[in-house]
Chain A
Amino acid sequence: MKENTAGSKNSVSRFMATAAPLVLLLVLALVPLVGPGPNTIRLLFISLVWITASVAWNILGGFAGQVSFGFAVFYGLGAYATAISLNAGLDRVTSLALAALVGATISLLVGLPTFRLRGPYFAIATIGVSEAVRVVMTNLAVTGGASGYRITEKGAFNQHLHFYMALGLAAAAVAISMWIRHSKLGLALISIREDQDAASDLGVNPYGTKLLAHALAAALAAAAGGVYAGYSAFVHPNGVFGFDISVAILLMPIIGGIGTVWGPVIGAVVYGLVQEELIASFPQFHLLLYGGLLILIILFEPGGVLGLINQLFRFVKARTGVGAHT
């Protein structure tokens, strides 16, 4: 096997793309067997839910470049759909599938009118939609309105079950994201992000492709909300439709590295760990910090953590002379 600098980089990234995720998955799957405390498992569970939502947002926002400020809508509706299905006696997997279906359907409601148009309409509409849905759910009597909706648990609470569901979903989300990135759909999405006119000249249908990406992302975000609802057994409109949920889902992929497969995962882990500490010590302050962080990332390192790591690699390489062939 010929080894040159480009080749070794390729083989490293090929290893990252195939073996590393499986090893990571295996390690995570074994964690509960080692017997950490319930709090550790809870933290891991929440991080996995965040990873799913973050990867979902990135499919639309990162690959296709369509910023949505309202992913809490799908997260929240998924939570409600799961809660209602569970109470209706459906099993957990079917409930999650239903939640995903609800998310994908509602995504069309925003996508159909806005993706047809050029300009900022989609981003604008997403700002309104989560507020509108939150208000409707707060007033809706069927789901208990502002007092929230409770899931009646049938068996004993099994934390490991919820952990494995979140792990399975997060793995599925990352797998879908990897598949999209290397498929024709991913190329179409990226070409739309870079130049919609050129993409459509080359035979990409921007309208249909954006709708599809939005629906996929919404389905995943809804399933993430569903897994969370199943765990907490209680859904509250101000909780699941909250503005800070939308902010979180948008912020994570940007922290990690927008438009990449692993950036959103890294961002979600960083966010999950920091959030726990921050929200305890600064209940209002954390959104201020996130806003400032967003501004700094956009201005100085749009590639997020992954961008920083790449820069660091390039810096070290330049310093040590490895691969300096110019």
Chain B
Amino acid sequence: MNIVDFLNLLVAAVLLAGVYAAMSVGMTIIYGVLKIVNLAHAGFLMLGAYFVYELYTRFNVDPLLGVIFAFPVFFLIGAGIYWLLVRRIPRSDQPTLPSLLLLFGLWLVLQNLGYLIWGNGDHAILTPRTFSTFQIGPIIFPTVRLVVFGAAVASLAGLEFALHRTWFGRAIRALMQNSDAGRIAGVNVDRTAQIAFGIGIAFAGAAGGLLAMMYSFTPDFGGSFLLRAFVIIVLGGLESFAGVAVGALILALVETFSILVIPSGYQPAISFSLLVLALVILPDGVAGLWKKRQRLA
């Protein structure tokens, strides 16, 4: 492999990592605050894809604008689902059997509502952007991936800002670090959890829209990305935002470069192998490694 191919793959991997991070960050927030694994994440990724698709085909709304619309819409959906379902299950500092099963059931419902509404055919969002590329020197940038990367990074920066500069952001981080201490300090746990769930779902919907700009999709669309999101947040240590970025980059690099040696049919097996590997070698994720070093120092 010459250096140009290598650089092209590297660029592709970094661009992919952006949307992977956006897709996983919602899961991290929800896990961090509520300590539940949002198995319905895949369903919301799929709904986000169809949301952007419908806006584009019916009202000719640019997919990028559609993704921006997806944030408030999915935030409200998430907050509603929290109120309707999630708040009714017992709270715990570990994922409980009811929470896993409830969200799994929700995923089944969403996925099959998708089948009911859109059928099982492939849909795709094709804009003039989709197939255009531009070159800097020998390196080729697909325009749509660059746009998606930009949108993903912008949304993550917005989240970072909200978490550090707003009262609710601080409340969310407080609950992620220590929910009892947060409660004592006057954080309204139920309200904060609702907002956190809403933000998590908002990111799932928006990330689904971003993914839909790059790939074709069916109602089963979210499933393969669900596993990827798991791998990323496990690599990142489940509750760390910086860890999500690192995890997304690792997965994107492994997936992109593994094409050279492993047949593409085995791609889903790669995510799983990486997950098992991460559990054996880095059970606390990359963030755990960092903490360990800090402790040693």
Please report A residues at the B interface, Cβ cutoff 8 Å.
61, 65, 67, 69, 109, 113-114, 116-121, 123-125, 127-129, 131-132, 135-136, 138-139, 243, 247, 250, 254, 258, 284-285, 287-288, 290-295, 298-299, 302
Proximity string of chain B (37-48) to chain A, C-beta cutoff 8 Å, 1 when within and 0 when not = 101000000000
Question: Please, which residues of chain B bring their CB within 8 A of the CB of A125?
Answer: 272, 275-276, 279
Chain B residues contacting A61 (CB-CB under 8 Å) are 97
Question: Nearest 4 A-B pairs (CB), nearest first?
Answer: A291-B108, A294-B105, A288-B112, A132-B272
Task: Collect the chain B residues with CB atoms within 8 Å of residue A292's CB.
Answer: 105, 109
Q: Mark B112-124, 1 if CB is under 8 A from A, else 0.
A: 1101100010000
B102's nearest neighbour on chain A, judged by CB, is A298
In Å, the complex CA distance between A124 and B120 comes to 26
Report chain B residues within 8 Å CB of A114.
Answer: 279
Residues in A with CB closer than 8 Å to B108 are: 247, 287-288, 290-291, 294
Q: Are B227 and A284 in contact (CB under 8 A)?
A: no
A287-B106 Cα distance, complex, nearest whole Å = 11
Q: How many residues of B contact A (CB 8 A)?
A: 48
A295 to B84, CA, bound (A): 11
Q: Is B107's CB within 8 Å of the partner chain A?
A: yes
Is B272 in contact with A119, judged by CB distance below 8 angstroms?
no
User: Could you tell me the distance between the alpha carbons of A163 and B61 in the complex, rounded to whole angstroms?
Assistant: 59
Interface positions, chain B 89-142, Cβ under 8 Å from A, are 89, 94-95, 97-98, 100-102, 104-113, 115-116, 120
Q: Are B104 and A128 in contact (CB under 8 A)?
A: no
Per a CB cutoff under 8 Å, which of B37, B39, B98, B271 touches A302?
B98
Which of B39, B238, B268, B273 makes the CB contact (< 8 A) with A131? B268
- The answer to whether B101 touches A298, judged by C-beta atoms less than 8 angstroms apart, is yes
Which of the listed residues A116, A120, A139 has the most CB atoms from chain B within 10 Å of its own CB?
Answer: A120
Return chain A residues, CB-CB under 8 Å to B231.
128
Contact of A113 among B85, B223, B276 (CB under 8 A): B276
A-B contacts, 5 of them at CB < 8 A, read A119-B238, A120-B94, A131-B272, A250-B104, A287-B111
B116 & A285 in contact (Cβ 8 Å cutoff)? yes
Contact B115 A135 (CB under 8 A): no
Give Cα A299–Cα B106 distance, bound, in whole angstroms: 12
A109 to B275 alpha-carbon distance, docked (Å): 12
How distant is the Cα of A228 from the Cα of B109 in the complex, in angstroms? 28
With beta carbons under 8 angstroms apart, the residue of B98, B227, B263 that contacts A127 is B227
- How many pairs, one residue from A and one from B, have CB atoms within 8 Å of each other in the complex? 126
Any A CB within 8 A of the CB of B261: no
CA distance A131 to B225 in the complex (A): 12
Q: Is there an interface contact between B85 and A118, defined as CB atoms closer than 8 Å?
A: no
- Interface majority SS (helix, strand, loop, mixed), chain A: helix
Tell whether B59 is near chain A: CB-to-CB under 8 Å.
no
A139 touches B105 (CB 8 A): no
In the bound assembly, the distance between CA atoms of A309 and B290 in angstroms comes to 53
**A123 and B95 contact, CB distance less than 8 A:** yes
Give the residues from 129 to 174 in chain B that come closer than 8 angstroms, CB to CB, to chain A: none
Q: Is the CB of A295 within 8 A of B102?
A: yes
B120 and A299 contact, CB distance less than 8 A: no
Given contacts A123-B37, A128-B227, A129-B272, contact A294 B112 (CB under 8 A): no
Q: Does B177 contact A (CB under 8 A)?
A: no
Question: For B71, what are the chain A residues with a Cβ–Cβ distance below 8 Å?
Answer: none
**Assembly CA distance A284 to B98 (angstroms):** 25
Quote the shortest CB–CB distance from B45 to chain A (angstroms).
Answer: 14
The CA-CA distance from A298 to B88 in the complex, in Å, is 10
With beta carbons under 8 angstroms apart, the residue of B102, B107, B112 that contacts A285 is B112
Name the CB-closest residue of A to B277.
Answer: A113
Contacts of A294 in B (CB 8 A): 101-102, 104-105, 108
Determine if B79 is an interface residue (Cβ-Cβ < 8 Å). Answer: no
B234 at the interface (CB under 8 A from A): yes
**Complex: A135 Cα to B111 Cα, angstroms:** 20
How many Å lie between the Cα of A292 and that of B116 in the bound state? 14
CB distance from B102 to the nearest CB of A (A): 5
Q: Is there an interface contact between B234 and A124, defined as CB atoms closer than 8 Å?
A: yes
Give the CA-CA distance A285 to B102 in the complex, in Å.
Answer: 18
Query: In angstroms, how far is the closest chain B Cβ from the Cβ of A211?
Result: 15
Contact code string B221-262 (vs A, CB < 8 Å = 1, else 0): 001101100110010001000000000000000000000000
Which chain B positions have C-beta within 8 A of A302?
A: 98
The answer to the question of B269 belonging to the interface, with a C-beta cut-off of 8 Å to chain A, is yes
Which chain B residue lies CB-closest to A302? B98
Minimum CB distance partner of A299 in chain B: B88
B1 at the A interface (CB under 8 A) = no
**B-side contacts of A113, CB under 8 Å:** 276, 279-280
